[in-house]
Structure 1
Amino acid sequence: MTESRPIRQGPVVCVGETMAALSPDPPEPLAQARHLRLSVAGAESNVAMYLADHGVPVTWLSALGDDPLGARVRAAVAAAGVDVSHVRTEAGHPTGLLVKDPDPTGTRVHYYRTGSAATRLGPELLDREPVRSAALLHFTGITPALSPTCRELVTRALDTPAGQRPYAISFDVNHRAALWPQDGSAGRVLRELADRADIVFVGLDEAQNLWDTDLTVTGLRRLIPRPRLLVVKDGSRNATAFTEDDVHTVPALRTEVVEPVGAGDAFAAGFLAGLHREATVPQALRLGHITASSALQVTGDHGALPAPAAITRLLTLPEGEWEALGTGQRGAAPC
């Protein structure tokens, strides 16, 4: 592994809960809706599905209830080319559910995941396949908020010093305030976990809400100094990657936004796929933006990537031509 690309060739394992999701179709306030659309939603499986789209061998590791919603989730993630053979079924514990409530001022999400199958995940997963053979483990800050055993899983994975781990660990801060107690612990826990990872993703606005309203992109690197790669997403404007000895900033692509949900996961997957294929860090940032644009243009979490030839063309554009395309998203930001 090089200094700027802390991923060796090999499979990726994404660990975390995926839920069934209900949303009004067509989009309208939930109280007025006559029809609901059933889909699946999960940050880590989103990353896994986009990695599979990019040709990266990837496994999603989780638990589902012994129920029809669990079967629906398993089938949807598998259909994207992700290995789900290690997802376990927890009898007596349901598959988690979320319900979207669209509104002109934004979409509220109602979670029904207390006691779900995935809250039973624990650190014993680290001693088994597919983790032992992984080149990269991907976590988000959602998992440690789900239950004490889930927090122990993420904490134990990150407790081993980076140089002694058999795999790299990427960590998307992905703060979900509704999952955390209102005692300020989220900021402390998420910062401690992020600072032990090899690769970290965080939104600038997310960091300002968690840690300091006056935080800058550079200030974030001082706050989280240890990761070999820290990627800061500045809304619809750009993304900056701090390596151990350099800084790279790449503007986002201009994109018409249909729905921003899932774009942050798509960006992370694109960036990781770039590292996996040994792209430069600026090219990995470009691939993150390209993948995020795919998510922004659909109502679900998972949109189709451009054709491989189109991706290659975008990755090899001269810097000035990329910047001409990179005037941001029209609509909500993807972070």
Structure 2
Amino acid sequence: MTGAWRPAPGPVVCVGETMAALAPDPPRPLADAEQLRLSVAGAESNVAVYLADLGIPAVWLSALGDDPLGHRVRAAVAAAGVDVSHVRTDPHRPTGLLLKNPGRTGTRVHYYRSGSAASALGPGLLDGEPVRSATLLHLTGITPALSPSCRDLVARALAAPAAERPYAVSFDVNHRAALWPDGTAPTVLRALADRADIVFVGLDEARDLWGAGLTVTGLRELLPGPRILVVKDGARAATAVTAAGVCTVPALRTAVLEPVGAGDAFAAGFLTGLLRGETPARSLRLGHITAVSALQVTGDHGPLPGAAEIQRLLGLPAPDWARHRGGRADRGAARAWR
């Protein structure tokens, strides 16, 4: 992936809101639930956590309320090995909250994040550390939907031409329709994505945003700016489009307990491949391997295979990879797949 960006010493800095999350335990509609499980949820911190799992120095940059939920979020992300020392505590605004409502047709998510501490983030966040020392800045399309100041933050991060930025920028489109009630998402997200170095987008969300008939080729024409465009096609495959050509790698077949967090895990795996100088195919494989760990748990973060098993999977001949089925990981257990 020569020319995609300029690797330099420094961490990956992931910017965005992480909330406390409540979900029925065991999973059932909220109307029938007798107890709720408290966890944390945030796309950007998910990426940071999986990067840390894979041995990449990661920083989560955000703001939290000075409240018990904020303390819980900070402790949980820090316990995963992510640097949270630059997360600001806001004494006047609360930590965001989400509530999951499982049902027969899927899980609905209710957000309580208007006026949250993270919604007050702004472009000044980019002026000092840790951004100044970052090798890569990771952003998502969730942040610009939170408030005008958050939109300004993302716009400024992408304002300078790629060749003039001191760090590369990766951008996961991560369209959340509930956060964009004004209908501006297609225009805003396309403009932001087209200025990033590396873009992640699901084929289904791209079709929802920009046209039902979109293909990978059509997406590349729509987003000519990124040096690397990664298109995820659900459980089927993922494709990386670079100056060197197009590379598609089938997804690992696996039982799915819950899909939440899998896209973040995939992004972390792929970015890890980039940082290590891997080929597009091996970077996509690492993305798939990491995504499976999220698919097999009810939370956003699941255990990765051991390092030796990851290397074995990365080295499989293509026909063997296509036939491989990811083993189910025990909840909370960090054992290698078989």
Fold-level match, TM-score > 0.5? yes
Separation in structure 2 between the aligned mates of residue 6 and residue 228 of structure 1, nearest angstrom = 12
Separation in structure 1 between the aligned mates of residue 308 and residue 169 of structure 2, nearest angstrom = 30
Q: CA RMSD in A?
A: 1.3
1:71: which partner in 2?
71
**Deviation, structure 1 residue 209:** 0.2
Classify 1:294/1:109 alpha carbon distance in 2 versus 1 (closer, same or farther; 3 Å): same
Give the SS at the match of 2:56: coil
Q: Deviations over 1:51-74 (max 9, x none)?
A: 000000010000000000000000
1:236: which partner in 2?
235
The answer on whether the counterparts of 1:9 and 1:276 sit within 8 Å (CA) in structure 2 is no
* 2:143 aligned with 1:143: yes
Structure 2 spans left out of the alignment, 5+ residues: 329-338
Separation in structure 2 between the aligned mates of residue 191 and residue 6 of structure 1, nearest angstrom = 24
Separation in structure 2 between the aligned mates of residue 108 and residue 141 of structure 1, nearest angstrom = 19
Classify 1:129/1:8 alpha carbon distance in 2 versus 1 (closer, same or farther; 3 Å): same
2:109: which partner in 1?
109
Amino acid at match of 1:108: R
1:221: which partner in 2?
220
Taking the TM superposition and a 5 Å limit, the aligned residue runs for 1:177-256 are 177-183=177-183, 185-256=184-255
Q: Deviations over 1:158-184 (max 9, x none)?
A: 01000000000000000000001233x
Amino acid at match of 1:41: A
1:25: which partner in 2?
25
The answer on whether the counterparts of 1:252 and 1:326 sit within 8 Å (CA) in structure 2 is no
How many residues are treated as equivalent by the alignment? 327
1:155: which partner in 2?
155
**Deviation, structure 1 residue 4:** 4.4
Runs of 4+ in structure 1 deviating by more than 3 angstroms, as ranges, are 4-9
**Deviation, structure 1 residue 318:** 1.2
**Deviation, structure 1 residue 110:** 0.4
* 2:283 aligned with 1:278: no
1:2: which partner in 2?
2
TM-score, normalised by the number of residues in structure 2: 0.95
1:333: which partner in 2?
none
Separation in structure 1 between the aligned mates of residue 229 and residue 325 of structure 2, nearest angstrom = 21
Separation in structure 1 between the aligned mates of residue 325 and residue 195 of structure 2, nearest angstrom = 32
Structure 1 spans left out of the alignment, 5+ residues: 330-335
The answer on whether the counterparts of 2:5 and 2:168 sit within 8 Å (CA) in structure 1 is no
**Deviation, structure 1 residue 2:** 2.5
1:314: which partner in 2?
313
Q: Deviations over 1:281-323 (max 9, x none)?
A: 1100000000000000000000000000000000111112112
Amino acid at match of 2:3: E
Give the SS at the match of 1:305: coil
Percent of aligned pairs with the same amino acid: 73
Separation in structure 2 between the aligned mates of residue 226 and residue 244 of structure 1, nearest angstrom = 11
Separation in structure 1 between the aligned mates of residue 152 and residue 272 of structure 2, nearest angstrom = 28
Give the SS at the match of 1:323: helix
* 2:43 aligned with 1:43: yes
**Deviation, structure 1 residue 31:** 1.0
TM-score, normalised by the number of residues in structure 1: 0.96
